[in-house]
């Protein structure tokens, strides 16, 4: 299933390249304030159309842009109960460390599992291409990590079970 | 350490220390809990430094289990059989405990090996006491009989207010564990572990092991048990024990493994969670490093007044930032 994944990621990458053109824009309503417009959504002329990229019903990516900020929300695939709790655990772990990640949002947007908020300041500090590389790499890594965690649980389960049953032989 | 050992390491260490330093009289008064259900207390007083008192507090039995005189049936006989005259049972036991044993350290066998074996057996007091009824039933299985006046199924306690069930028959004993966990994540992890039990039984090398099944709903053998006993959020595990599993030396191991089954699964669920945590931490570190690559080069050979220095971000920095 690598091909659909690659297409999905390429699509996200292209959209980000087009959307990540941010510039500094002080707040129009309040003096001397500078807020990420995508979060407030007060002035429609500062917002672009949000783009929703769906891989299937379970996985999608919402990209909302404004003049000085960009919000990316991801929904991760969760096939069964175990993947559900592993994904929730892992993504909560990441969100709690949002300070270290800088571009991560502490709470995901309603209906999604994890969200990024990139502002013009981040674009000034970091290179645009590398930032996009990071986001795409992140998406790949989450999938890999959750499947590896699931595999480690089942391997451990098998080992535990066979050791226990060997005791009876 | 994958398997849980039958002797309590702390107790064994304490006993060995005491025996080796019999001349130096030290006051001892320790309380501890094993596997979240059994409480131990060991005491040596200055007045009689050779006498060691060991108290045991068993998990509260639920309604369907019966404790005779505060102990599971067959426990007193088992203690006498295992320890002989070296250990005395004090009646009544210490306040708050189900059993108190008095051990005279100066009367232990002189032979090093015998003494060590006896101390290991004393440190396995949990297996002797809690496993006594199970042992009685399995011993009857080894001789292919059924113990007299046994009900259709027997409930034995293994955790506070929880019991597991045995259906003893002449040629096999069916052991059914309703598995309950407090935390929802524990429940899901345990469910996947328990399903693995069923899978791994099918592998070739384990065909002599007891057949085991896992099901979400109570198995048919438990028809007639109370509803309270039948609620289990991680399903029911059934083992069928045959006489070949309880012959000779295997009896002790089987008794220990069955009576600490829940503790075993719980232990491995917690280990699994700990492992996942360290994995996630490592992944976070690698992601942050990837993010740092996005920042422009920080190595400058000459520091001129025009170069701005960038601070490399790491988890430690962010922690100090948020706490300041």
pLDDT digits (tens, 9 = 90+) for B141-175: 877 777 665 667 777 887 887 788 888 887 888 88
Q: Do B193 and A161 touch (CB under 8 A)?
A: yes
Residue of B283, B308, B313 to mutate for A, most A C-beta atoms under 10 A: B283
| Gap from A79 CA to chain B (nearest CA, Å) | 14
Report pLDDT for B83: 80
Q: Looking at beta carbons, which residues of chain A come within 8 Å of B197?
A: 157, 161, 164-165
| Gap from A95 CA to chain B (nearest CA, Å) | 11
Q: Looking at beta carbons, which residues of chain B come within 8 Å of A133?
A: 290, 294
Q: Which residue has the tokens 């089942």?
A: A154
Q: Do B295 and A102 touch (CB under 8 A)?
A: no
Please name which of B128, B43, B136 lies closest in space to residue B93, comparing C-alpha atoms: B43
Say if CB B14 and CB B42 are below 8 A apart: yes
Please give the interface size between A and B, counted as residue pairs whose CB atoms are below 8 Å apart: 142
B290 contact A CB<8A: yes
Model ipTM value: 0.84
For residue A63, is pLDDT > 90? yes
Residue of B206, B266, B275, B276 to mutate for A, most A C-beta atoms under 10 A: B276
pTM for the predicted model, two decimal places: 0.81
Closest to A99 (Cβ–Cβ): which among B250, B257, B318? B318
Could you tell me what percent of chain B has a pLDDT over 90? 4
DSSP H or E segment with residue B38: strand B38-44
For residue B34, is pLDDT > 80? yes
Residue of A102, A157, A159, A169 to mutate for B, most B C-beta atoms under 10 A: A157
Could you tell me what percent of chain B has a pLDDT over 70? 86
pLDDT digits (tens, 9 = 90+) for B282-306: 998 988 888 888 777 654 434 444 5
pLDDT digits (tens, 9 = 90+) for B131-140: 888 888 888 8
pLDDT digits (tens, 9 = 90+) for A147-168: 999 999 989 988 888 888 888 8
Tell me whether residue B282 is exposed, middle or buried, using C-beta atoms within 10 angstroms of its C-beta: 0 to 12, 13 to 18, 19 or more: exposed
Report pLDDT for B302: 43
Q: Looking at beta carbons, which residues of chain A come within 8 Å of B208?
A: 168-169
Lateral strand order in the sheet of B38-44:
B28-34, B38-44, B51-57, B99-104, B87-90
Report pLDDT for B92: 80
Say if CB B274 and CB B245 are below 8 A apart: no
* B229: confidence class by pLDDT, cuts 50, 70, 90: low
Q: Looking at beta carbons, which residues of chain B come within 8 Å of A157?
A: 192-193, 195-197
B35 contact A CB<8A: no
Instruction: Give me chain A's average pLDDT, please.
Output: 89
SS (H, E, C) chain A: CHHHHHHHHHHHHHHHHHHCCCCCCCCCCCCCCCCCHHHHCCCHHHECCCEEEECCCCCEEEEEEECCEEEEEEECCCCCHHHHHHHHHHHHHHHHCHHHHCCECCCCCCCCCEEEEEEHHHHHHCCHHHHHHHHHHHHHHHHHHHHHHHHHHHHHHHHHHHHHHHCCC
């Amino acid at each position: 299933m690598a091909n659909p994944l690659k297409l999905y990621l390429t699509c996200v990458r292209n959209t980000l390249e087009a959307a990540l053109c941010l510039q500094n824009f002080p707040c129009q309503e309040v003096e001397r304030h500078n807020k990420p417009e995508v979060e407030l959504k007060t002035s429609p002329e500062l917002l672009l159309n949000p783009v929703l990229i769906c891989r299937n019903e379970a996985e999608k990516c919402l990209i909302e842009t404004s003049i000085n900020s960009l919000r990316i929300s991801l929904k991760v695939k969760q096939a069964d109960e175990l993947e559900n709790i592993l994904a929730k655990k892992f993504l909560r772990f990441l969100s709690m460390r949002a300070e270290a990640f800088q571009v991560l949002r502490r709470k995901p947007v309603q209906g999604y599992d994890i969200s990024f908020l990139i502002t013009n300041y981040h674009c000034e500090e970091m290179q645009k291409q590398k930032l996009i590389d990071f986001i795409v790499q992140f998406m790949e890594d989450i999938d890999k990590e959750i499947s590896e965690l699931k595999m480690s649980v089942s391997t451990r389960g098998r080992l535990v079970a066979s050791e226990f049953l060997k005791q009876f032989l | 350490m994958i398997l849980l050992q039958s002797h309590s390491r702390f107790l064994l260490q304490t006993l060995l220390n005491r025996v080796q330093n019999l001349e130096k009289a030290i006051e001892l008064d320790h309380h501890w809990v094993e596997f979240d259900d059994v409480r131990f207390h060991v005491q040596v007083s200055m007045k009689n430094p050779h006498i060691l008192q060991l108290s045991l507090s068993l998990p509260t039995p639920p309604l369907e289990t019966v404790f005779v005189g505060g102990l599971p049936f067959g426990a007193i006989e088992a203690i006498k059989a295992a320890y002989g005259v070296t250990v005395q049972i004090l009646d009544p036991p210490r306040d708050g405990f189900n059993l108190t044993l008095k051990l005279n350290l100066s009367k232990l066998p002189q032979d090093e090996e015998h003494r060590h074996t006896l101390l290991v057996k004393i440190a396995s007091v949990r297996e002797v006491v809690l496993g006594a009824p199970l042992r009685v039933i399995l011993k009857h299985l080894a001789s292919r009989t059924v113990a007299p006046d046994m009900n259709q199924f027997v409930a034995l306690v293994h955790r506070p207010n929880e019991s597991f069930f045995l259906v003893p028959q002449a040629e096999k004993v069916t052991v059914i564990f309703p598995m309950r966990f407090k935390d929802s994540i524990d429940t899901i992890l345990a469910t996947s572990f328990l399903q693995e039990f069923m899978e791994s039984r099918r592998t070739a090398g384990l065909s002599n092991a007891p057949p085991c099944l896992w099901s979400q709903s109570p198995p048919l053998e438990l028809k007639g048990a109370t509803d309270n006993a039948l609620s289990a959020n991680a399903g029911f595990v059934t083992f069928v024990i045959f006489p070949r599993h309880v012959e000779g030396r295997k009896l002790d191991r089987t008794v220990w493994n069955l009576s600490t089954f829940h503790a075993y699964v719980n232990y491995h669920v917690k280990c699994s969670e700990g492992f996942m945590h360290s994995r996630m931490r490592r992944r976070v570190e690698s992601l942050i490093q990837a993010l740092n690559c996005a920042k422009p080069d920080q190595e400058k050979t000459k520091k001129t007044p025009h170069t701005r220095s960038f601070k490399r971000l790491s988890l430690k920095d962010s922690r100090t930032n948020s706490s300041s």
